[in-house]
C-alpha cells in the first residue's frame, strides 16, 4: 500500500516537473484538445477531380440547403476578402493566397467583396479604377476555377444602405459579370451585402427581382444570394415572404459573435423553420464594428447551429488591417505563403475549425 502511494507521489512529481520545464504542454494533457495550427505556407498539387468543386460541380438549392451535382448536401467553408477597393484587401486576392487557403486552411470558397460606395467603391470611382476592380474579380474567378474552389462575387453595399440607390449600376454590373462568367459553374452571385438604414424587405425584394432577371438572362441556374434587412440579420422577416418565381435563390445572414447572440440565432432558427435557404456570407467572432473583443463561446454556438443545418459560411476577412476581424496579423507583410506566425488569434481559431 505504502509503495503504491509512494509511486503515485513520484509520478505526480515527474509530471509537475515535466510541465514546469515545458516537456508536456497542458494542451497535451486535455483529452481531445485541438492540435495547434501549423502552417508551412507551402502549396500542394491536387488533381482537379479531387478538389472541392471538382468533386461537387454546379450547386443547386434544395429545401434549405445547397446540394451538389449528385443532389448531396454540401457545406461551403469560406473566407471573404476585405474590400478589393481597399489597400488592406486587394493585395491578398491572388492565386497563391487562395491556394494557401485551400491547401492549409480547409477553405473551399472565396468571397470577393467589392464595396459599391465606401472607400472609392465601384459606383463612386472612375473608369480606370472600375476596370481594376473588374480585373481583380477576374483574378479570383480564374484562380477559383483552377483550384476547384467556389467564388462568390459580392456587391458590397454598406453606407449606401438601400440597394435601390444604385440599382441601375448594379444591373449594369451584373449584366457584365453574368455574361462574362456564364459558363463558370463555380461562381455565385451575392447581389446586396447588407441592406440597412431601415430599408424594408419589400424594397429589397423589388431590387432583387430586377437584378435576378438580369443574371438569369445569361445564367439560368447560378446561385444568387440576397441580403436581408438590418445588415443581413432579419432572415426571419424574409422567410415570411420569400422571392417567388426563381430557383436557386439563397438568403444571407451575417453575424459578429461578440454582438450577435441568442436573439439573432433565433432569427435563423425561425427562418429555417419557415424553410428559407440560408447562407452566412460574413461572420467573425469579434464585435459588429469588426473590432473589439472576441466571443468565441458565442462563435462556437453559431458554428454548431450552422454545421447542424449544413449552412455555408464565409469569414470576414483576409486582411492585415489592424482590427480584430483580420485573419492576418498587421505584422504580416506577405500576400501569400502564410505561415503560422502570420495568423491573428481569429485566424488561428478559424483554421482550427475549418480543418476539422
Q: Which residue in the shown chain puts its C-beta closest to ligand IDC? A: 290
Q: Is 290 in the site for ligand IDC (CB under 6 A)?
A: yes
Out of 234, 236, 282, 342, point to the residue binding ligand IDC (CB under 6 A): 282
Q: Output the smallest distance, CB 319 to ligand IDC, in A.
A: 7
Interface stretch with ligand IDC, choices 24-32, 213-221, 239-247, 285-293 (CB under 6 A)? 285-293
- Nearer to ligand IDC by Cβ, of 74 and 97: the residue is 97
3-state secondary structure of 69: coil
Q: Do the bridges between strand 77-83 and strand 65-67 make them parallel or antiparallel, or are there none, so unpaired?
A: unpaired
Task: Kindly name the residue from 104, 117, 190, 282 that is annotated as catalytic.
Answer: 282
- Nearer to ligand IDC by Cβ, of 90 and 104: the residue is 90
Alpha-carbon distance 110 to 118, whole Å?
Answer: 21
Residues 157 and 110 sit within 8 Å (Cβ to Cβ)? no
Cis peptide before 328 (omega within 30 of 0): no
The size of the interface with ligand IDC (CB under 6 A), counted in residues, is: 16
CA 276, 352, 83, 210: dihedral to nearest 10 degrees?
Answer: -10
Residues 6+ apart with CB under 8 A from 345: 294
Distances (CA, A) of 103 to 39, 161, 186, 239: 10, 37, 18, 36
Dihedral sign, Cα of residue 346, residue 351, residue 354, residue 356: negative
- Nearer to ligand IDC by Cβ, of 18 and 288: the residue is 288
Considering only residues 239 to 268 of the shown chain, the ones binding ligand IDC according to CB under 6 A are 254, 256
3-state secondary structure of 346: helix
Find where cell 503504491 sits.
4
3-state secondary structure of 225: strand
- Nearer to ligand IDC by Cβ, of 99 and 233: the residue is 233
Q: Is 118 in the site for ligand IDC (CB under 6 A)?
A: yes
Active site residue 104: no
Q: Output the smallest distance, CB 221 to ligand IDC, in A.
A: 27
Q: Is 193 in the site for ligand IDC (CB under 6 A)?
A: yes
- Nearer to ligand IDC by Cβ, of 68 and 118: the residue is 118
Active site residue 184: no
Query: Which residues are at the interface with ligand IDC (CB under 6 A)?
Result: 118-119, 158, 193-194, 231, 254, 256, 282, 288-290, 316, 321, 323, 325
Active centre residues (catalytic): 194, 282
Amino acid at each position: 500500500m505504502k509503495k503504491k502511494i509512494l509511486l503515485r507521489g513520484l509520478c505526480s512529481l515527474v509530471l509537475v516537473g515535466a510541465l514546469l520545464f515545458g516537456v508536456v504542454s497542458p494542451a497535451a494533457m486535455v483529452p481531445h484538445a485541438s492540435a495547434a495550427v501549423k502552417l508551412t505556407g507551402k502549396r500542394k498539387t491536387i488533381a482537379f477531380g479531387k478538389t472541392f468543386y471538382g468533386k461537387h460541380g454546379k450547386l443547386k438549392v434544395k429545401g434549405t440547403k445547397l446540394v451538389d451535382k449528385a443532389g448531396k448536401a454540401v457545406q461551403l467553408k469560406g473566407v471573404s476578402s476585405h474590400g478589393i477597393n481597399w489597400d488592406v484587401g486587394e493585395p491578398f486576392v491572388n492565386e497563391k493566397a487562395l491556394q494557401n487557403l485551400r491547401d492549409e486552411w480547409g477553405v473551399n470558397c472565396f468571397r470577393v467583396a467589392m464595396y459599391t460606395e465606401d472607400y472609392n467603391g465601384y459606383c463612386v470611382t472612375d473608369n480606370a479604377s472600375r476596370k481594376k476592380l473588374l480585373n481583380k474579380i477576374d483574378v479570383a474567378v480564374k484562380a477559383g476555377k483552377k483550384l476547384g474552389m467556389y467564388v462568390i462575387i459580392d456587391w458590397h453595399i454598406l453606407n449606401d444602405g438601400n440597394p435601390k440607390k444604385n440599382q441601375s449600376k448594379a444591373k449594369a454590373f451584373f449584366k457584365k459579370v453574368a455574361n462574362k462568367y456564364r459558363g463558370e459553374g463555380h461562381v455565385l452571385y451575392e447581389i446586396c451585402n447588407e441592406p440597412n438604414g431601415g430599408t424594408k424587405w419589400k424594397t429589397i425584394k423589388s431590387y432583387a427581382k430586377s437584378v435576378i432577371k438580369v443574371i438569369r438572362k445569361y445564367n439560368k441556374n447560378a446561385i444568387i444570394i440576397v441580403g436581408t434587412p438590418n445588415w443581413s440579420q432579419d432572415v426571419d422577416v424574409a422567410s415570411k415572404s420569400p422571392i417567388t418565381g426563381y430557383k436557386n435563390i439563397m438568403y444571407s445572414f451575417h453575424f459578429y459573435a461578440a454582438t450577435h447572440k441568442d436573439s439573432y440565432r433565433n432569427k435563423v432558427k425561425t427562418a429555417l423553420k419557415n424553410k428559407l435557404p440560408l447562407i452566412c456570407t460574413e461572420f467573425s467572432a469579434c464585435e459588429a464594428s469588426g473590432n473589439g473583443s472576441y466571443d468565441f463561446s458565442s462563435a462556437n454556438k453559431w458554428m454548431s447551429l450552422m454545421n447542424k443545418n449544413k449552412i455555408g459560411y464565409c469569414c470576414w476577412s483576409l486582411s492585415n488591417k489592424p482590427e480584430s476581424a483580420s485573419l492576418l496579423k498587421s505584422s504580416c507583410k506577405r500576400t501569400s505563403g502564410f505561415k503560422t506566425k502570420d495568423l491573428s488569434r481569429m485566424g488561428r481559431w478559424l483554421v482550427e475549425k475549418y480543418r476539422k
